[in-house]
Amino acid sequence: MQHLKTLLQTFVSFTMLIQFVYSTEPVNLRIDDPAPTFFLRTLTGENFFLSKKIKADSPIILAFYATWCIPCRQEIPALEKMMTDPALGDVRLFYVNVGGLMAADEAGDVVKQREETEQVSKHKERFKMTHPILMDRYALTARKFSAESLPTLVVIGGGGNIKYVHHGYRPGDEKNIERVIREIGSPE
């Protein structure tokens, strides 16, 4: 009987957690609002606190993506190439791998997509990703940044405020990112 009671309590707790996670409304980010803070682990298991990465003179780019996202596969090489520009030397790019979103699987069924470490590592090698990858396994950080459609790119200015948000990818979008970074006064 005690086992059943413990199991029921665990189920109720889990159900409440799921309701909380999925009932939170996405944040409507506006330019110049403070960036939501977050903690994630990197692909290699290190702790990442956004609040510790914000510097007065160094913009941050957050590129939200998933391995199954076709437009993300186009955006990643463009971002990697863009980041080789010496004028962007103080800009830091962090990929945010988003798991837990609903998307079609190979059979065309809509399911919750999982992003496993091994799968993300293979994707990193395939696309020659040279910047840190943050693992957002349950899309909680993605929700904070209204990044539930992928890819989503966010530029955070040196003071920690949102300077640019873009959903989707078309070739040439990286030119807008470079323009925004120049406008916010990235050191050259």
Per-residue pLDDT tens over the stretch 103-152:
777 788 887 888 999 999 999 999 999 999 999 999 999 999 999 899 99
> Residue 81's domain is classified under what CATH number?
3.40.30.10
- What integer pLDDT is reported at residue 24 of this predicted model? 47
C-alpha to C-alpha distance for 158 and 37, rounded to whole angstroms: 14
CA-angle at 177, arms to 55 and 100, nearest 5°: 80
Q: For the stretch 19-51, what's the b/e string if a residue is b when 16 or more beta carbons lie within 10 angstroms of its beta carbon?
A: eeeeeeeeeebeeeeebbebebeebeeeebebe
* DSSP per-residue codes, 4-64: HHHHHHHHHHHHHHHHHHHHSPPP---TTSBPPP-EEEETTS-EEEHHHH-BTTB-EEEEE
How many structural domains compose the chain?
Answer: 1
Q: Is residue 35 part of a domain?
A: yes
Q: Is residue 124 part of a domain?
A: yes
Q: Is residue 13 part of a domain?
A: no
Q: Is residue 171 part of a domain?
A: yes
Give the tens place of pLDDT for each residue, 164-186: 999 999 999 989 999 988 888 64
Looking at every residue in the chain, the average pLDDT score rounds to: 84
Q: Is residue 133 part of a domain?
A: yes
Q: Is residue 3 part of a domain?
A: no
Q: Is residue 7 part of a domain?
A: no
- What integer pLDDT is reported at residue 157 of this predicted model? 93
Average pLDDT over residues 21-49: 82
Give the domain extent around 172.
28-183
Q: Is residue 135 part of a domain?
A: yes
